[in-house]
Structure 1
Amino acid sequence: MFDRLLKEPLAIFCVAAAGIFVVDAIRNGGETTESLAEADQNAVSTIIVNEAVVDILQEDFEWLEGREPNEEETEQIVQEWLNEEIVFREALRQNMHLSDGKMRAHLIEKVRLLWAGVPSAPSEEDLLAFYMDNIQEYYSETRVSFDQVFYSEQPENADELLERLRSGEDIEGERYWLGDNMSDYAASILRSSFGGEFFTALLEAPLETWMGPYQSPRGYHYVKVSGVQQPQPIAYEAVRDRLLQDWSDAMLFNRVAERTEQIRDEFDVVYDSSGEVSSSVEALLASARNLREEEGH
């Protein structure tokens, strides 16, 4: 698949156009912005139909149809590609790839795929080493067990109800959709159901003591926490399938990061703080400028 991506006209054009623009910018450092823009537009306006392009189009036809195209069909698919290429180049001339977020994201992802390739399968030793180096990512969630008395509106006698609960009185509140006895619920579920502040209050509450009422998006809760299970490392065998995916993602990320760093110096990054900008943005731009200067750029 990646071999085909490397041959794809769109990918070839994007890489070639970027390369032409960068080389041109380096060679003509003294030229004005207008002349560089004109050179870039000329590159976009030049469409080359060569043997490589025809070969790719013929291969695509053969893959879809199960046979090679004849001469007439070849002429037709080349003409169709040329028509689409003209429309595509016009979109580039209008800078649609800069203003369309989805198109920009697609091109970024495409280049990342070209750079990353497909990593070889890791050995068991590699996978185990990755597991140990990133063990903090492979812990079970915090789990909490508690009883609750729920009210959709804050009770007027909130303090009195709390004292009655603490004295051991059995008080029946309103029906809560998850029930009144929450046994061994994971942090992710509690956060999404009750909110982050509520979850933090559960962790800080003393065990076997009624507390509250704590507010959630649904109402008010008196709670008595009976147990908190702290995160524990998950066994290697239990997360091996996840490790394979995480290891592959990490390898791809590293390849893209290395390639990005290799070509970083080919681009002249200008941090412009002119005009009206917020103090936070101005500080960020100043910090970025200083960092680049320290790195010798």
Structure 2
Amino acid sequence: MRAATMTGQGWRSPALPPPRRLLRDPLFAFLIAGIAMFVAYAAIEARRTPPVAYTPEIERALVEEFEALAGRDARPADRARMKRDWLTEELLFREAIDRNLHLTDADTRKRLVDKVRYLIAGAPAEPDEAALVDYYSSNLSRYRGEPRTSFEQVFRAERPADAAALLQRLNVGSAVAGDDFWLGRDFPRYGDSMVRGIFGQPFVKALHAAPPGRWVGPIRSPRGWHFVKKREALPAALIPYDQIRDQVRQDLVMAETARAIDAALGRLREKYDVGE
């Protein structure tokens, strides 16, 4: 391209190439592609990190809340503090998200999951009595009480050297002294879960296998050694509805929430491309 030339009227700009020729120029195409990439990148970044804005709506809501709690109008200093506190929390929240704390912190993750669960399912309607009774009748296996056992024990902190002789004396009705046990000697109608929590699962199994009315042992537990006599064994039994109504209501509400979540999972799987 020739350099600009001087005329009697001053400098004359060089002639521009025709539009058709300009469109065919590789440098022009490269320039257009670069501009398009820059615009797309800017749009993506703007969507990924929206600006922090203390909007009039946010300020109005904070002022209304403050005035309702304080019982007075918000002063300029109050408004400045509200803005400062809001911006601080917003920036710290965004930094937490940027550090993926919502993915790695168990408590934060659970709170967010519970919040979204509520937003999806909403507050379920209060079930009426007919719905509760129907749910109870359809799920009777869930409302059976655990087996219960009545027994007494003689406790020794250490395994006695004469365990066989002590067992024989107990079974002929002789008195045998034991060490102090924090729950005493008698255990009337204790459920399996309670016995398990005190003595451990092996003790529960031994108690179930023991013949009623006879002393057995010593049975070892994490607390020591136990000579045990089972007096009564009650099998698992259905808990009457009126005794467990509150639990039935809670179970029904949770079941309704679970159904709403299940209905939304298909859409969420597609949205987040879940791999199987």
* Equivalence for 2:255: 250
Residue 267 of structure 2 corresponds to residue 262 of structure 1? yes
Please point out which of 187, 201, 204 is paired with 2:209: 204
- Equivalent in the alignment of 1:103: 108
- Residue type of the partner of 2:126? A
CA distance in 1, matches of 2:114, 2:259: 15
Please name the residue that 1:134 is paired with: 139
- In the alignment, the residues of structure 2 paired with residue 75 and residue 177 of structure 1 have an alpha-carbon distance, to the nearest angstrom, of 60
Aligned to 2:127: 122
Query: CA distance change for structure 1 residues 241 and 99 in 2, over 3 Å: closer, same or farther?
Result: closer
Give the deviation of 1:253 after TM superposition.
2.9
CA deviation profile, 1:177-221 (whole Å, cap 9, x unmatched)? 222232222223211111111012111111112211101122111
The structure where helix makes up a greater share of residues is 1
Three-state SS of the structure 1 residue aligned to 2:97 is helix
Deviations 1:8-38 (A, max 9, x none): xxxxxxxxxxxxxxxxxxxxxxxxxxx99x9
Aligned residue runs from structure 1 range 67-216, under 5 A: 77-78=82-83, 80-216=85-221
The answer on whether the counterparts of 1:162 and 1:210 sit within 8 Å (CA) in structure 2 is yes
Identity between Structure 1 and Structure 2 (%): 35
Change (3 A) 1:264 1:65: farther
Partner of 2:229: 224
What is the total number of aligned residue pairs between the two structures? 236
Q: Is the 8 A contact 1:44 1:93 kept in 2?
A: no
Cα shift readout 1:254-281 (whole Å, capped 9, x = no counterpart) = 32333234312211235xxxxxxxxxxx
Q: Per-residue deviation at 1:98?
A: 2.8
Write the distance in 1 (CA, Å) between the matches of 2:162 and 2:144: 42
Q: Distance in 2 between matches of 1:144 and 1:223?
A: 12
Tell me the secondary structure at the aligned position of residue 206 of structure 1: coil
Q: Could you tell me the TM-score, scaled by structure 2's length? A: 0.72
- In the aligned structure 2, how far is the partner of 1:256 from the partner of 1:61? 36
Which residue in 2 is equivalent to 1:21?
none
Q: Which runs of 5+ in 2 are unaligned?
A: 1-39
What is the RMSD of the two structures over their aligned residues, measured on CA atoms? 3.1
Q: For each residue in 1:211-264, what CA deviation from the matched residue of structure 2 results, as whole angstroms up to 9, or x when unmatched?
A: 111011221111111111112111111212232222222222332333234312
Q: Distance in 1 between matches of 2:120 and 2:73?
A: 31
Per-residue displacement from partner, 1:73-98 (whole Å, max 9, x unpaired)?
Answer: 66764554234323322332233333
- Provide the C-alpha distance between the structure 2 equivalents of 1:135 and 1:63, rounded to a whole number of angstroms: 49
Q: Deviations over 1:56-79 (max 9, x none)?
A: 445534543457868996676455
Moved more, 255-264 or 75-84: 75-84
- Residue ranges of structure 1 left out of the alignment (5+ in a row): 1-34, 271-291, 293-297
Greater displacement, 256-265 / 105-114: 256-265
Contact kept, 8 Å, 1:45 with 1:89, in 2: the verdict is no
SS at structure 1 position matched to 2:52: coil
Q: 1: distance between equivalents of 2:118 and 2:146?
A: 33
AA matched with 2:246: D
Partner amino acid, structure 2, of 1:117:
G
Q: Which amino acid aligns with 1:221?
A: H
Q: How far apart, CA to CA, are the structure 2 residues paired with 1:179 and 1:90?
A: 56
Q: Which amino acid aligns with 2:243?
A: A
Equivalent AA in structure 1 for residue 205 of structure 2: T
